[in-house]
């Protein structure tokens, strides 16, 4: 495989793993499905009928503002969600809130006409998102991803509520230049993802009769919206201009040969167990610890810490402050809700194990814990010898550190989690081969790992050696 192809491949997979994208498109040779425009169109039409969002004939021209109204938030516009501070959004409608101005002069009264807003109906968190950052760029030029996450409970009596949707989680995505503080006033999301969580999965008693009988619903309905500056219109596929800007340099003069990524297959690939079972997706843990790892002096984003740009935007840099506690507690609440959702939908998924582990660790502390303390315990691993990464082994500490830096970005949600030692040991040979493929294997697109960058030779050497030393476990 030529260097150009390798890099183009890296772009494809990186784009997928950016988790920004309408679909988990992976090109030929890679077994995650990437869907198609036809499938995505059909999906949205079906979703329209199931959830009562417009009609199948017109759903493709819907936008995020309409979906907000459908959730019971008429009056609150996309631009308000992006521009207002988390503090202002979370206290909307409360008498203590002060004077919050929405973009429409009648916005607030419209919003409150639909019933009172209860505390906790809206949760907001802004954070550094290494996931959506192109690590193949040189550190000094590396732009940095940030996300604003908003969880809205479907309001009582709304169309969403009538269609058994409990909540909507939105992710606005932003990329900043190196050294630039995120969330400058007026900056708009270039792509926005939405998960509508239903209360209809698993299906209640199938023999059920009468009013309580719910239709068979997916656990999550996925939607994706294009650039907010252009109306946050429903999109089937990636807004390619982001890739063109952020990733094109990698392609060494090739035109931006970016594959398209479509809902829903891709979303379920990372938001569910392998093989992805469509319709049984779960939300993914918000792993604050991993974000903090990545700004350490020896990791990929030391400039953030150096420039005093906080990992949790609203928490500031002092992990013992009340401000940090408030920001952290929003994430804690979200992860609690995710754990409940995961336990209901797919309790054995490794995604559920990850969330449970985060919650246990952060029951007592809000402070950053290092990778070795975050190992998945044997009890959460499912069948197998139940190996665990341990602090007393310097090899474990070193190997898990490398896997966390170079692989977790994808192998925290795709196929296996690097925090599960049994799953890593099981793949010992495969990992070794994929790190240093023979020429014939290197020809296979997507075979070589990691696909998003070249590992510095010294680190690669250590990875191979340490993986080699892992105990032998049946595959
Ligand atoms: C490469 C894996 C990957 C793919 C593909 C992916 N996601 Fe995610 N997604 C994640 C991870 C991991 C998080 C947690 C937030 C983070 O780490 O930035 C997340 C978070 C989210 C969230 C916030 C709620 C939560 O689960 O934490 C939404 C909404 C979301 N993704 C929607 C989508 C949609 C829609 C698609 C398909 C178009 C998609 N995702 C595809 C990995 C992925
Ligand atoms: C940018 C995303 C990404 C990164 C980073 C990444 N991988 Fe992967 N990896 C994938 C995808 C996607 C697949 C699925 C490919 C397929 O099915 O052919 C995969 C598959 C694998 C597999 C085989 C799948 C299985 O179930 O056993 C192994 C082993 C693997 N990767 C190891 C690694 C290691 C080790 C690293 C870090 C050094 C790494 N990967 C980093 C995306 C990534």
**High-pLDDT (> 70) share of the chain, %:** 84
449 C-beta closer than 6 A to ligand 2: yes
Q: What is the CA radius of gyration of the chain?
A: 22
Q: What's the mean pLDDT when you consider all of the chain?
A: 85
Q: CB under 8 Å to 187, separation ≥6 — which residues?
A: 82, 174
CB 319 within 8 A of CB 368: yes
Count of CB atoms situated within 10 Å of the CB of 474 = 7
Our measurement of the distance from residue 173's CA atom to the centroid of its chain's CA atoms, rounded to an integer in Å, reads 10
Q: How does pLDDT run across 425-460, given as a tens digit for each residue?
A: 999 999 999 999 999 998 887 788 988 788 999 999
Count of CB atoms situated within 10 Å of the CB of 385 = 14
- The per-residue b/e assignment along 67-101, b for 16 or more CB within 10 angstroms, e otherwise, is bbbbbbbbbbbbbbbbbbebebbbbbbeeeeeebe
pLDDT at 3: 33
The mean-pLDDT minimum among 17-21, 193-197, 315-319, 425-429 falls in 17-21
Q: How does pLDDT run across 46-64, given as a tens digit for each residue?
A: 999 999 999 999 999 999 9
The residue written with tokens 């509508």 in the block is 196
Q: Residue 306 C-alpha to ligand 2 middle, in angstroms?
A: 31
Q: Hey, what are 262's tokens?
A: 């479509």
Determine the atom of ligand 2 nearest the C-alpha atom of 30: 18
176 C-beta closer than 6 A to ligand 1: no
195 C-beta closer than 6 A to ligand 1: yes
11 C-beta closer than 6 A to ligand 2: no
CB 389 within 8 A of CB 375: yes
Q: How does pLDDT run across 232-275, given as a tens digit for each residue?
A: 999 986 543 222 222 333 333 333 334 456 888 878 778 887 66
Q: Hey, what are 277's tokens?
A: 């079972």
pLDDT at 275: 63
Count of CB atoms situated within 10 Å of the CB of 312 = 24
The residue written with tokens 């982001």 in the block is 242
pLDDT at 273: 73
């Amino acid at each position: 495989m030529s260097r150009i192809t390798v890099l183009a491949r890296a772009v494809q997979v990186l784009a997928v793993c950016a988790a920004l994208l309408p679909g988990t498109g992976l090109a030929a040779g890679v077994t995650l499905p990437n869907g198609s425009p036809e499938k995505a169109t059909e999906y949205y039409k079906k979703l329209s009928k199931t959830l009562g969002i417009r009609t199948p004939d017109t759903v493709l021209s819907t936008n995020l503002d309409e979906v907000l109204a459908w959730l019971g938030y008429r009056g609150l516009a996309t631009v308000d969600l992006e521009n207002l501070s988390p503090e202002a959004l979370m206290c909307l409608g409360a008498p203590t809130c002060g004077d919050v101005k929405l973009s429409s002069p009648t916005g607030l009264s419209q919003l409150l006409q639909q019933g009172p807003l209860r505390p906790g109906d809206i949760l907001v968190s802004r954070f550094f998102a290494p996931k959506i950052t192109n690590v193949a760029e040189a550190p000094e030029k590396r732009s940095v991803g940030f996300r604003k996450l908003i969880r809205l409970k479907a309001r009582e009596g709304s169309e969403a509520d009538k269609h058994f949707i409990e909540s909507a989680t939105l992710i606005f995505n932003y990329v900043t230049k190196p050294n630039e503080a995120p969330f400058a006033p007026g900056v708009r999301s270039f792509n926005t993802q939405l998960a509508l969580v239903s209360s209809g999965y698993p299906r209640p008693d199938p023999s059920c009769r009468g009013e309580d009988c719910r239709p068979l619903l997916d656990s999550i309905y996925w939607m994706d919206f294009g650039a907010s500056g252009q109306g946050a219109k429903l999109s089937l596929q990636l807004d390619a201009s982001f890739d063109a800007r952020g990733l094109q340099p990698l392609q060494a003069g090739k035109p931006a040969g970016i594959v398209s990524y479509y809902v829903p297959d891709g979303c379920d690939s990372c938001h569910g167990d392998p093989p992805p079972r469509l319709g049984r997706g779960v939300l993914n843990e918000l792993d604050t610890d991993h974000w903090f790892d990545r700004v350490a002096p020896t990791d990929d984003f030391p400039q953030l810490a150096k420039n005093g740009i906080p990992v949790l935007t609203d928490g500031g840099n002092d992990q013992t402050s009340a401000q940090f506690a408030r920001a952290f507690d929003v994430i804690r609440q979200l992860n609690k809700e995710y754990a409940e959702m995961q336990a209901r939908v797919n309790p054995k998924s490794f995604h559920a194990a990850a969330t449970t582990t985060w919650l246990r660790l952060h029951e007592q502390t809000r402070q950053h814990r290092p990778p070795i303390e975050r190992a998945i315990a044997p009890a959460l691993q499912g069948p197998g010898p139940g190996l665990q990464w341990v602090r007393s082994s310097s090899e474990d500490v070193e190997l898990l550190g490398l896997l966390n830096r170079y692989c977790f970005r994808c192998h925290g949600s795709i196929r296996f989690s690097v925090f599960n030692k049994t799953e890593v040991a099981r793949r010992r040979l495969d990992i070794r081969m994929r790190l240093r493929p023979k020429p014939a294997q290197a020809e296979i697109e997507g075979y070589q790992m990691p696909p998003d960058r070249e590992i510095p030779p010294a680190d690669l050497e250590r990875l191979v050696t340490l993986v080699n030393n892992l105990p032998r476990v049946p595959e």
